[in-house]
Structure 1
Amino acid sequence: MVNFNGALFAEDSTLLTANNRGLKYGDALFETVRCVNGTVFFWEDHYFRLMASMRILRMEIPMEFTLEFLEEEIKKTIEANALGDNSVRIRLTVFRNDGGLYTPETNNVSYVIETSALDSPFYILEDGDYEVELFKDFYVNKDMLSTLKTSNKVLHVVASVFAKENGYSNCLLVNNEKQVVESINGNLFLVKDNVIKTPPLSDGCLDGIIRKKLMEIIEATEGLELQEASISPFELQKSDELFITNTIMGIQSISKYRKKVFGNTVAKSLVGKLNAKARISQAN
């Protein structure tokens, strides 16, 4: 079952028309959130990111779009799919309503909530091979729009095709100044000695929720130093570890980039702290 503007429909129902602005112009935002046993991890952070993004895109925020309302709609959708006792991936998509060409006829919005089951209630660091390569055919722009979670992800789609065609697990994306920004599906962290570095939002990386939480964890961990600074491609092979973060997988270690093989000692220490932070968000 999917939730369309508060009403529940079968997954194969026809809900959207050919005039949907998310389809025609990428005029949509989405939040991917993780829910365990009826509790949405870091929900306040996701909610406020969505509200800020809607304001930036000049979408009209409905009066009923409160923190509590959207959380209840998410839980209603989970229950309708009999996933209340499971770990669940939720995608909440908000799009401007039909009408207009580039200039919309209205700034009013609709929403769709989709759910799917996850294997584990905890963030687990997968050990296996995870090789990446730089994707340099197209570049991420260094602007605020690149930091938003919009449905306009064609660069990431093309990079995914490149990775699949060449046998890579993922690709690292660069901006138009050739700085490494992020991966296809998450934020990037680089470890060198006791310093953990991640690109700043001004370089064009996604304003990720797990990025934010991990930065808080690193800053509070004795013996680790956080740097929010640009990363050049030359730094990648000189680092001790590279890892990717997002809301669903938590932390994914990169095992290989070109000829360099990486460890994951720091990533292993951080995934436990991330799980602890998620449990605190559940308790609250």
Structure 2
Amino acid sequence: TGSGRQNRDEELFGHKPFAVIADYFAKKGIATLRIDDRGIGGSSQGKDDDTTANFATDISTAVDFLAAKGYLNIGLIGHSEGGMIAPIVAKMNNKVKFLVLMAAPGTKIEELLIQQNYLGGKLAGMTEKDLAEANVMNKKIYDFIKSYSGTTYEEDLKKFMTENFQGKMSKEELTQTISQTKKNWFRYFIKFNPDEYLSTIKIPVLALNGSLDFQVPAKENLEAIQQSLTKAGNKNFKTEELTGLNHLFQEAKTGAFAEYADIEQTISPKALAGMADWIAKLKK
């Protein structure tokens, strides 16, 4: 699943995309295993210092579970942060035979977040002046996190944020930013470079992205994924930008965050067919 705690259906904004994918795949003869993230549904509570790397071990265990039951043609579908997790798992577990990456990051996460914040703000109506100021602030925060080498991170983060941004952010914004960036998950996330894993992947890979995705912009990230897989010497991969789809692979008007819950469609039929048809061809 993507970032945040989600159940086995990747339930969000009133939609259950993983349930829809599983149902469509079943009708095409493709079985699926879905699990609840740590801290939700039937899974264990998890810990406050969990990171993307911890989540990868959960998925690797799920792969081993299937392999122990005799399944051989096991692949992973990762959406958003799940598209970071899938290559990590493929590198650590040779039982993974193919990957489907849905809106997966290909560029360095720091670069991705800068672009995501800019595009999201623009869609929300922010002025270029405000967007530029926010960009400078975000870059400054990310640089602090990436270069921090002390032993009292949370305390030093609060001091840094207060000294640099009090008056530039509202009290609520300052508190919210500190709450997000103090987490171990975010510290791991901001330093992550997908190329470190993608450039080692030689199994078949399908990477899809929507042209209206502002969270993981299609052009830059699909190009980066293609470059990494080419560097790996991967002979069987496909990258495709799907016109008119947003980050959740819904048919959208602008791709803005505000549309996610308002769109009735959970996931576009062309995304479903693209994944199922590609997987089916692997069996031939």
Give the TM-score taking structure 2 as reference length. Answer: 0.27
Q: Higher strand proportion, which one?
A: 1
Q: Higher helix proportion, which one?
A: 2
Give the TM-score taking structure 1 as reference length. Answer: 0.27
